[in-house]
Amino acid sequence: MDSFFVEDLEELLLKGNKHETGNAFKIFPFNTRSKYGLVSNNFESILGNYILEITQNKLKKTTKKEIEYENQNNEIYSLSSFIAADFFNNSEEKTDDEFEFSKMINSFLFSNEKFTPIHPYLFNLINFNQSTVDKEFKSYGVFLANCFGNGTKLKEIFNETSADNILTQAILNSASKLIEPNEKEHLPEYKSVLPFMTDLYKEDVTFLQQNKDRFFKDIGLLTQYYLFMYVGQFIFKAESYTEANHEVATPFHFILDNEKLSKRRKESKAIQSFEEVNRRAQYLFSHINTLSQLSYNVLQKGDMTLNERNTVLLYSQIKENFELENNEELMRDFIQKVQLWIQKYCEWQKIECEDIPSDFDKLMRFYVKKVQKGLHKDASKKVASAFKNIGDKQFIKSRGSLGNSFNLKHEVLILLTSVIVKEERMPLKLVFEELEHRGILLDAYSREEVINIYNSHNILDKKSDSGDAQYVKRIL
């Protein structure tokens, strides 16, 4: 009975003499050589790669190099000068009109030397002024496109080349000469392990796109939030093993940006606090490798002859799937094969392998600990830092002696509130519940602060003095 393909793993890891995920869908785009701060400080570049992956476009290298050469002393104006030159039919001598037009284009497209797209199609050019794009950013772009952008209308939105005014249309006409279709085959490399998070993102981004200005402004922030929460949820669910609820988010304790955190508030040491979730991140690389190896079972393995990858599932889902087969012999064989593989893995890594448990949950915990010992410590630390790396300074805040906490900034609260409430007013209680579905748990102190913020924006309706019936009005 082939319940778990030990021979495939022997071929993949033992003969190759290194840790590989093989034919399993990749779980994350993390790089074991990544520099800390690289992601949180450069999310715009990741967003640019995400858009190019969704639209299946790429920047024309030859045209880009020509422009960079001509503008090597003034890189920030390179895009604007190209558009102006193209508009004036590339005349050899630059006229005063062309120069002034270039300055005007620059004022439209850049703010404080930062590229600010005024049309969805221009999001394809976010990385245009960068001489090189980090390979890790490209991997993040593929990951986001496969897991978050798949099944949305974002491809059509960001490929739209028509505008409602002459100037924007002129810019788009020139910009289109810098972009070309990416003809390479786009087989998905990643697949969402947490559909409850990626489906919510798709719902929220679909609503956000109804308001053009807010969509331009907030698509990056919304995507970064969901990426950060997706990683945090994976860490928490994986560390919960078979006890994990894989259908809804486990809300984390957030503190509003302007609040003070005291020792009396339980959030600083709660199991769903940032410090606790971040502590669990030390096993992130082990879970990635373990779950990828476990995907080589009869219920998850893809057909390689059809270019099918193995589906990666959480421990609770793996157990549930085998139980649904209602076949005790199949489950028993799977456990025995996993025990056999752990023994072989320990021999390969020269790790002591004491009595291997036969209980499913205990077996998974044992398995992860052995993989943790088999992985390079520096690599594990690098992957563990990815969670904090994504959210640093945006969704995480230092609280002095109390350590770091999950942080809810004003702009994030308003953004999430707008996509939650949508077009009809919503009871305040339900808004808080929807925030929890998106991973945000607020205590009584924080809820009072949220109410104050809603009142300051005049979006809270009070239907009684007691406040029993409070509604949050639509924002977008």
Give the tens place of pLDDT for each residue, 331-388: 999 999 999 999 999 999 999 998 999 999 999 999 999 999 999 999 999 999 999 9
Q: Is the pLDDT of residue 76 over 50?
A: no
pLDDT at 447 (0 to 100): 96
Q: Is the pLDDT of residue 464 over 70?
A: no
Q: Is the pLDDT of residue 268 over 60?
A: no
Give the tens place of pLDDT for each residue, 52-70: 999 999 998 755 555 544 5
Give the tens place of pLDDT for each residue, 191-202: 999 999 999 999
Q: Is the pLDDT of residue 75 over 50?
A: no
Residue 100 pLDDT grade (very low, low, confident, very high; cuts 50, 70, 90): confident
CB 295 within 8 A of CB 24: yes
